[in-house]
Chains A and B, each alone.
Chain A
Amino acid sequence: MNLLRGLVSTLQIALGAYALGIVIGFAGALGKINGSTPTRWLLEIYTTLIRAVPELVLILLLYYAGTGALNSLLDMMGYRPIDISGLVAGIAVLGIVQGAYATEVIRGAMLAVPRGQLEAASAFGMSRWQVLRRVTIPAMLPFALPGMSNLWLIVTKDTALLAVVGFSELALSTKQAAGATRAWFMFFLAAATLYLVVTLVSNLVFRLLEKRARRGQPEFS
């Protein structure tokens, strides 16, 4: 039962972090393509640093630094320090990590959209927003989906790292349950199966999504 509760919080964090990652990735990709030179530099530093440092170290750094910085900020503005829930902190930390990878995936997909289509859209008098919404996003989806499905699989597995900062998602609740019952092998095997099921189901969903995003395109052989 504890395992299932752990699974639910794992999925909550994964979904939240994934959503946050997509938002950051979108903004980051737009900034890298259209932004000014300093914006591009900052984004380049962000994606390079995040991708070069182990997730475990990043999670600890962002977790402690993030909660500490937020509380001292609140202190300066005269508010009382708040207790940040593990769920919110976990989502924020993993979301920032995901955002760096998502930036690269989405940037690559946006660049893969033929320029002529975008020029045609603006020739029709569409504003930049309309071009983005009506042409860029639908046209880049088939290119972005394989990378994005990889990122989803990575984030579901990265939630296990939050066990190290003491958030009881699936991995930590398994460890606690296993420690209490001494049936280490059984419990970890069960947890691994749960993760595997999540992966297999997600694979199926993403295959369907990709099929839908590719509708009307010639089949690859």
Chain B
Amino acid sequence: MQWHWVPEYLPKFIDGIIVTLQLLSISVVIGMALAIPIGLVQVTGPRWLAGLARAFCTVIRGTPLLIQLWLLYYGLGSLFPMVPGIRETFMWPILRDAFPYAILAFSLSVAGYEGEVMRGAFKGVPKGELEAARAFGMGRFTLLRRIWLPRAFQNVLPTLAGELVLTLKSTPLAATITIFDVYGVSSIVRQETYRVYEPLLLVAGIYIALTAVIVVCFRKLENRVPRPV
């Protein structure tokens, strides 16, 4: 075991951690924003929308994230250059960069998995509470904002930390499409110093630490949210 390379590469690892956290936070926010309507339409929506949402969840959960990522980056990315004149538009630098593809893939993945979770959460809210809210004269939107959504979130909160850890553990896949997250940095170290185990062990330690932070934060958050009686 030799660790003399650590000080030299430390700044890169810190950059990598920042990229990893960016990937995680952006895709979780977008993914959750998508997951709420996906879960909701499966419970109350018209049949065709519910079917569409269910099909989306099945496809996302039934195929490996690596394939989704490669399909978007290599597949979709190889189609764009065929569009005439696209190189001159302002979109081109975005379409050429790998980061947006990773965000898109991870967001869709979060949306697929969490959409299924949110479906159960919306379903788990007792009917009486919704009827009571309606009896108070709340409109559909007010009811969703004041009662249904907060109660559904209360239901999913205990599972949310686990799902966040799962997403964190899938972010190193981004390194396969040339993004230098914390895992990507370890492969640079491997190529430049020919040390195989040490960088991987360091990265494993970093992920364990991040996981611990997420778990502890969510336990604190959970304690602050009033428990359903």
Contact = CB atoms under 8 A, between A and B. Distances in A.
A188 B71 CA distance: 5
Contact of A188 (B61, B65, B67): B67
Interface in A180-207: 182, 184-189, 191-192, 195-196, 199-200
Interface stretch (A20-28, A57-65, A134-142): A57-65
Contact of B207 (A53, A184, A191, A196): A53
A107 interface: no
Interface string A150-180: 0001000111110110000001001100100
Interface stretch (B118-126, B128-136, B170-178): B170-178
B66 A160 contact: yes
Contact of B64 (A49, A52, A171): A171
A56 interface: yes
B144 interface: no
Interface string B53-88: 000001101111111101100111111000000000
Interface in A1-51: 49
Given A52-B207, A57-B204, A160 B64 contact: yes
B208 interface: yes
Given A185-B75, A188-B74, A54 B207 contact: yes
A159 B67 CA distance: 11
B30 interface: no
Given A184-B77, A196-B63, 14 more contacts: A52-B207, A53-B169, A54-B183, A65-B197, A68-B196, A157-B63, A157-B65, A161-B66, A163-B66, A171-B64, A182-B78, A188-B71, A189-B75, A191-B67
B194 to A, nearest CB: 12
A65 B70 CA distance: 27
Interface secondary structure of B, over-half rule? helix
Interface in B139-190: 165, 168-173, 175-176, 183
Interface of B: 58-59, 61-68, 70-71, 74-79, 165, 168-173, 175-176, 183, 196-197, 200-201, 203-204, 207-208, 211-212
A55 interface: yes
Q: Which of A52, A158, A187 has the most CB of B within 10 A?
A: A52
Contacts of B197: 61, 64-65
A191 to B, nearest CB: 6
Contact of B75 (A60, A184, A199): A184
B208 A57 contact: no
A185 B79 contact: yes
Given A52-B211, A56-B172, A61-B197, A188 B75 contact: yes
12 contacts: A52-B207, A52-B212, A53-B169, A54-B171, A56-B183, A57-B203, A58-B204, A68-B196, A153-B61, A161-B173, A164-B176, A188-B74
B67 A192 contact: yes
A56 B200 CA distance: 10
A174 B183 CA distance: 24
Contacts of B212: 52
A61 B201 contact: yes
Q: Which of A53, A61, A185, A196 has the most CB of B within 10 A?
A: A53
Contact of B76 (A55, A57, A68, A185): A185
Given A64-B196, A185-B79, A178 B62 contact: no
A125 B153 CA distance: 50
Contact of A49 (B67, B183, B208): B208
A65 B64 CA distance: 25
B200 A171 contact: no
